[in-house]
């Protein structure tokens, strides 16, 4: 079963990562076994000890642990993605910083600037090199022949190897899976094997992929970027991208690791408890055995008390003593003890102590052992209850980790912008910044469409199709008013104007200049006065995908399953977003909730709705 990427997998994954070139890093998180990068446009990249790939599945992650790396790379643009040599090493170039992922054992992630290490996941020192901040970075030595850079040496290694599979796997560093595929594709011919490998690499680097997941006995056993002929499987599943196949395969492995790390303390305590319980169970059994044995002996002695007293009297005065029902096994006159047996029960009596006193003492000792057993059983019940509570905690942590997994939807074109819909299902778009304001006007604002803007500098451009209904006009105006500087200023109402697209121009008056995201408005402006700043922010679930949606309160019920209504307030966005995430069971969407809030806010009310299907929303915008 595959536990990490092969070199062929890495070439294919790097090819897909190149789609991120030109995008900026928005955030970086620490995961249980690596790091998660969020790029502009809602794309994610995961780099950990199992893989480096695009991903649409967001598991356990935390802001803590990635602060320094975040400071280095946040807002930096990805310039290039390379696999520098035939090894499981990936280089992501961000301006002056090279982020180097060593997908080896041990895994490491290193940021290099000017040839020197400026950050790394963990310190490393071996025979080959030392990795720490401030020292020059060097790649690890290759323990095998690079078949792409050292073709002649690779050919010799294959020709001289007694076992071609072993030579491919060990001498060329392919590993068992790729080595077997090359072996079968070359029909075990050493002369053809290298050409077959080169063709495999060519296919994946050119993006000629056929990503496939292989299932054996109902369990996924591996995943490859192209269809392998060498893998034994009962069933296969093909994907349109390799990263989706990797998500499907590795998510269970990554979740298992996350659960193991999160529950490590509980697991340790549980193991100690289990050992203590096992010891107690043995003790209880021993206490009960000894107690029962003493009680049985005491009862036997009591049944033959008078005969026993007579025998002990004779043993104290004579040496040659016999008894029909009590067999004398041994007499130790120095210790004043005798070993006797009757009815198959063997016991020891003191010759210098009254029989009655010995019987009473045995009954008391038997009771003491039973009391110890009962006390140990009380402790055992308590420990078992504690063990049960630990198991419940472990199960709850596992459940929360698995439920916290968020599947990132492939974003539709309109999701790049602020978007919503009116109560009459009219689509609305808004700019997130000056650059998007510019794009909306240039690309999507038609002459007969409407342009909305809060009557304050620094507001989102909001555009929509022609509408005449006064309620719809107010809803769009409210959306425009909320995404303006008025919200951050704590203003609760503001005027909003709207005009036709034909009245909006980037052409300034002669001798003047318009900044990016600014426009000239010609002709009469239509004002909607005293528009209340208020938004409804909700979460909708489409299958296993959750999305954050925003709308005026009048239309939120047709977009979200659950929502909250907010107004300008004094609570910071992050705090409000965390509260919303918890109440709406959307901890995995915290970043999206923060982005949806216009500024410091106050929660007014909570609600639920019956949203229209996502396909219907996409259809609304498809006819823009």
Last residue of a domain, one of 349, 373, 404: 404
**The CATH number of the domain where 381 resides is what?**
1.10.287
How many whole angstroms from its chain centre is CA 345? Answer: 65
Is 142 inside a domain boundary?
A: no
> Same domain for 48 and 114?
yes
Is 247 inside a domain boundary?
A: no
> Same domain for 295 and 335?
yes
Is 600 inside a domain boundary?
A: yes
pLDDT at 59 exceeding the cut of 90: no
Confidence of residue 419 (pLDDT cuts 50, 70, 90): very high
The total of structural domains in the chain comes to 4
Q: 556: which residues sit within 8 A by CB, 6+ positions away? A: 536, 538, 549, 563, 565, 607, 609
Residue carrying the six token digits 């006007």:
441
* CB-based contact 60:73 (threshold 8 Å): no
> Same domain for 587 and 536?
yes
Query: Lowest-confidence range among 360-364, 516-520, 542-546?
Result: 516-520
Please give the pLDDT value at position 291.
Answer: 95
Please give the pLDDT value at position 314.
Answer: 87
> Same domain for 166 and 299?
no
Q: 369: which residues sit within 8 A by CB, 6+ positions away? A: 287, 288, 290, 291, 294
Sheet with 97-102, strands from edge to edge, namely 80-82, 89-94, 97-102, 108-113, 116-120
Confidence of residue 400 (pLDDT cuts 50, 70, 90): confident
> Same domain for 114 and 227?
no
Task: Give kind and range of the element (H or E) at residue 236.
Answer: strand 235-238
Please give the pLDDT value at position 40.
Answer: 87
**The CATH number of the domain where 96 resides is what?**
2.30.310.10
Last residue of a domain, one of 341, 374, 404: 404
pLDDT at 393 exceeding the cut of 90: no
Last residue of a domain, one of 336, 370, 404: 404
Is 245 inside a domain boundary?
A: no
Summarised one tens digit per residue, pLDDT across range 97-141 is: 999 999 999 999 999 999 999 999 999 998 889 999 999 999 999
* CB-based contact 429:462 (threshold 8 Å): yes
> Which of these, 122, 44, 123, lies nearest to 411 by C-alpha position?
44
Summarised one tens digit per residue, pLDDT across range 308-328 is: 998 888 888 776 777 778 999
Would you give the end-to-end CA distance of the chain in angstroms? Answer: 48
Phi, psi (degrees; rounded to nearest 5) at 390: -60, -40
Summarised one tens digit per residue, pLDDT across range 235-292 is: 999 999 999 999 999 988 888 777 887 788 888 888 999 999 999 999 999 999 999 9
> Same domain for 224 and 295?
no
> Same domain for 165 and 119?
no
Summarised one tens digit per residue, pLDDT across range 283-294 is: 999 999 999 999
> Which of these, 65, 64, 167, lies nearest to 121 by C-alpha position?
65
Structure tokens at 299: 């009862």
Gyration radius from the chain CA atoms? 38
Cα dihedral 128, 133, 137, 141, rounded to 10, equals: 20
> Same domain for 229 and 281?
no
Which residues span the domain enclosing 384? 265-404
Mean pLDDT of 167-196: 94
Is 250 inside a domain boundary?
A: no
pTM given for the model:
0.70
> Same domain for 478 and 565?
yes
* CB-based contact 97:70 (threshold 8 Å): no
Please give the pLDDT value at position 135.
Answer: 97
With both helix axes pointing from N to C terminus, report the angle between 355-403 and 242-262 in degrees, rounded to the nearest 10: 150
Compute the mean pLDDT over every residue in the chain, rounded to the nearest whole number: 93
The Cα 585–Cα 593 span in angstroms is: 12
Summarised one tens digit per residue, pLDDT across range 565-599 is: 999 999 999 999 999 999 998 888 888 999 999 99
The Cα 367–Cα 441 span in angstroms is: 92
H-only helix segments in 406-534: 434-439, 470-482, 485-488
> Same domain for 536 and 599?
yes
> Same domain for 459 and 583?
yes
> Which of these, 92, 90, 76, lies nearest to 27 by C-alpha position?
76
Is 302 inside a domain boundary?
A: yes
Is 411 inside a domain boundary?
A: no
Is 347 inside a domain boundary?
A: yes
> Same domain for 276 and 378?
yes
């Amino acid at each position: 079963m595959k536990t990490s990427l092969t070199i062929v997998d890495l070439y294919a994954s790097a090819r897909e990562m190149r789609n991120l070139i030109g995008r900026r890093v928005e955030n970086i998180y620490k995961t249980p076994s690596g790091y998660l990068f969020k790029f502009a446009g809602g794309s994610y990249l995961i780099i950990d000890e199992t893989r480096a790939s695009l991903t649409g599945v967001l598991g356990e992650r935390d802001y803590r642990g990635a602060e320094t790396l975040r400071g280095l790379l946040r807002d930096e643009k990805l310039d290039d993605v390379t696999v520098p040599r035939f090894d499981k090493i990936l280089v992501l170039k961000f301006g002056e910083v090279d982020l180097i992922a060593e997908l080896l054992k041990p895994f490491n992630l290193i940021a290099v600037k000017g040839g020197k290490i400026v950050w790394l996941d963990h310190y490393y020192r071996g025979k080959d090199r030392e990795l720490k901040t401030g020292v020059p970075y060097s790649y690890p030595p290759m323990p095998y022949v690079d078949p792409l850079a050292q073709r002649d040496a690779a050919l010799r290694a294959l020709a001289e190897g007694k076992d071609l599979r072993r030579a491919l796997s060990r001498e060329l560093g392919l590993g068992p899976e790729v080595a077997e595929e090359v072996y079968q594709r070359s029909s075990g011919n050493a002369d053809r094997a290298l050409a077959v490998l080169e063709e495999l690499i060519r296919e994946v680097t050119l993006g000629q992929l056929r990503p496939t997941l292989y299932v054996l006995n109902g369990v996924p056993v591996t995943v490859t970027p192209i269809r392998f002929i060498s893998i034994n499987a009962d069933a296969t599943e093909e994907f349109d991208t390799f990263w989706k196949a990797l998500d499907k395969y590795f998510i269970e492995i990554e979740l298992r690791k996350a659960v193991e790390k999160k529950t490590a303390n509980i697991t340790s305590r549980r193991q100690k408890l289990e050992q203590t319980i096992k010891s107690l169970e043995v003790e209880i059994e021993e206490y009960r055995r000894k107690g029962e044995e003493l009680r049985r002996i005491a009862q036997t002695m009591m049944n033959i008390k008078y005969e026993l007293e007579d025998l002990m009297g004779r043993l104290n005065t004579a040496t040659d003593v016999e008894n029909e029902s009590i067999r004398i096994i041994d007499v130790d006159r120095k210790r004043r003890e005798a070993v006797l047996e009757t009815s198959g029960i063997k016991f020891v009596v003191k010759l210098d102590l009254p029989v009655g006193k010995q019987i009473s003492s045995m009954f008391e000792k038997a009771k003491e052992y039973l009391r110890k057993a009962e006390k140990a059983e009380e402790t055992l019940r308590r420990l078992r209850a504690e063990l049960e509570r630990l198991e419940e905690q472990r199960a709850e942590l596992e459940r929360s980790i698995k439920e916290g997994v968020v599947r990132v939807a492939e974003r539709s074109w309109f999701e790049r912008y602020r978007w919503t819909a009116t109560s009459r299902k009219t689509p609305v778009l808004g700019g997130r910044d000056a650059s998007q304001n510019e794009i909306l006007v240039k690309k999507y604002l038609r002459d007969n469409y409407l342009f909305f803007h809060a009557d304050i500098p620094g507001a989102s451009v909001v555009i929509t199709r022609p509408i005449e209904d006064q309620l719809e006009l107010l809803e769009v105006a409210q959306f425009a008013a909320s995404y303006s500087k008025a919200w951050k200023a704590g203003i609760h109402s503001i005027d909003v104007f709207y005009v036709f697209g034909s009245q909006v121009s980037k052409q300034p008056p002669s001798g003047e200049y318009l900044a990016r995201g600014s426009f000239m408005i010609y002709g009469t402006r239509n004002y909607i006065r005293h528009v209340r700043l208020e938004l409804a922010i909700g979460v909708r679930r489409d299958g296993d995908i959750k999305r954050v949606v925003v709308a005026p309160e009048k239309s939120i019920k047709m977009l979200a399953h659950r929502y909250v209504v907010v107004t300008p307030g004094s609570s910071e966005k992050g705090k409000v977003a965390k509260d919303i995430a918890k109440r709406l069971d959307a901890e995995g969407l915290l970043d999206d909730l923060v982005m949806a809030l216009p500024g410091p806010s106050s929660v007014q009310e909570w609600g639920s709705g019956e949203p229209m299907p996502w396909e219907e929303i996409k259809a609304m915008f498809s006819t823009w």
